[in-house]
Structure 1
Amino acid sequence: MNQRPILQVAQDGETDIVVRRDFSHPPERVWQVMTDPALIPHWMASAETMSRCEIDLRPGGSFYYEWKGTQASPGFHFSGPILAVQAPHHMQHVEFFNGDTASGTTITTDLEARGQGTRMVMVMRYASAEARAAAIEIGMTDGFDAVYDRLEALLPTA
């Protein structure tokens, strides 16, 4: 019987959130689904549908992800520079919420082969302890289980 992969989300130090999850396919496949703008909207979803997904996946490149709002909730977007790329194992970028460049979050994602699968470790480093606390309060870490379950579901078809 297959067990659902365990998602670990933990606070580390004053400013970091560390996310760990295993996937059933090799890093090359996980990387493809994580970085292909045609696939990202299928797994990186929220209550709103992603309406724009652009990524120039190279150091010095950038990304822009946008979700259109509804009458019940406003739209939002994340954007920022790509700092480092070592496909298919490492990426680092800065994430600005709704264009607010005053307090970007540095996201480092590492994919490591584990048998036939992959261990993902993502470190979200906030500008301050207060910024991390605010992100947690507004739900930035909610829903990771569902998001990564959708990513896992795309792996066999990618």
Structure 2
Amino acid sequence: MSMTPDLTKLQTVLDGETDIIVRRDFSHPPAHVWRALTEPALIRKWMAQDDLKRCEMDLRPGGSFRYEWESFYFSGPILEVDTPHHMVHVEYFNGDTTSGATIITDLVARGTGTRMTQVMRYANAEARAAAIEIGMTDGLDEVYEKLEVLLTAE
């Protein structure tokens, strides 16, 4: 019996006072996972399907992104890109630039698959607690399972 955790299911860990670390393994190589995380046509298919009204990404340092639903949106600048392994962006909720999280996404090959590690870094403990309280981490397992299904169907 293996003592290794099953990371096909999402693992979420609080780290220090400001970070939320999310880990998940995908059964596809980093380049495929990267495409699904960064190409608007693919993002629409796994993130929210028909509910996503606007989905834009200018994938370069100095670029920006915007994911917009009927009643809320996420947007912000893209700070670093190293295709297909690393991206850093800032994620503002409804344009509130006073409380955004810095999102650091790393994709590492593991056999024929990929380990995604995402660090959501908030300005302080209060901002992280508020993000958890409003549900910023709720449903991530289901959303990333949709991404896995999409990759398998591609």
Shift of 1:4: 8.0
* Aligned 8 A contact 2:7 2:25 in 1: no
Identity, % of aligned pairs? 68
Query: Structure 1 counterpart of 2:29, which letter?
Result: P
Shift of 1:39: 1.0
* Aligned 8 A contact 2:7 2:24 in 1: no
- Once residues 16 and 33 of structure 1 are traced to their aligned partners in structure 2, the CA distance between those partners, rounded to angstroms, is 24
Aligned pair count reads 149
Shift of 1:41: 1.6
Shift of 1:16: 0.2
- TM-align CA RMSD: 1.5
Residue in 2 aligned with 1:66?
A: 68
Residue in 1 aligned with 2:3?
A: none
Query: Structure 1 counterpart of 2:106, which letter?
Result: D
Equivalent residue for 1:50, pick from 49, 52, 67 = 52
Shift of 1:128: 1.0
Partner SS state of residue 14, structure 1 = coil
Query: Structure 1 counterpart of 2:62, which letter?
Result: G
Partner SS state of residue 65, structure 1 = strand
2:89 maps to 1:93: yes
Query: Structure 2 counterpart of 1:16, which letter?
Result: D
TM-score by length of structure 1 reads: 0.90
* Aligned 8 A contact 2:8 2:26 in 1: yes
Residues 20 and 112 from structure 1, CA distance in 2 versus in 1: closer, same or farther, beyond 3 angstroms?
Answer: same
2:40 maps to 1:37: yes
Gaps of 5+ in 1: 69-74
Post-superposition CA distance 1:31-64 (Å, at most 9, x none): 0111110011221129x81110000000000001
2:130 maps to 1:140: no
TM-score by length of structure 2 reads: 0.93
Query: Structure 2 counterpart of 1:52, which letter?
Result: R
Shift of 1:104: 1.4
- Once residues 53 and 127 of structure 1 are traced to their aligned partners in structure 2, the CA distance between those partners, rounded to angstroms, is 26
Residue in 1 aligned with 2:126?
A: 130
Post-superposition CA distance 1:122-153 (Å, at most 9, x none): 00001110010011011110101100000001
- Once residues 4 and 124 of structure 1 are traced to their aligned partners in structure 2, the CA distance between those partners, rounded to angstroms, is 18
Residues 123 and 4 from structure 1, CA distance in 2 versus in 1: closer, same or farther, beyond 3 angstroms?
Answer: closer
2:85 maps to 1:102: no
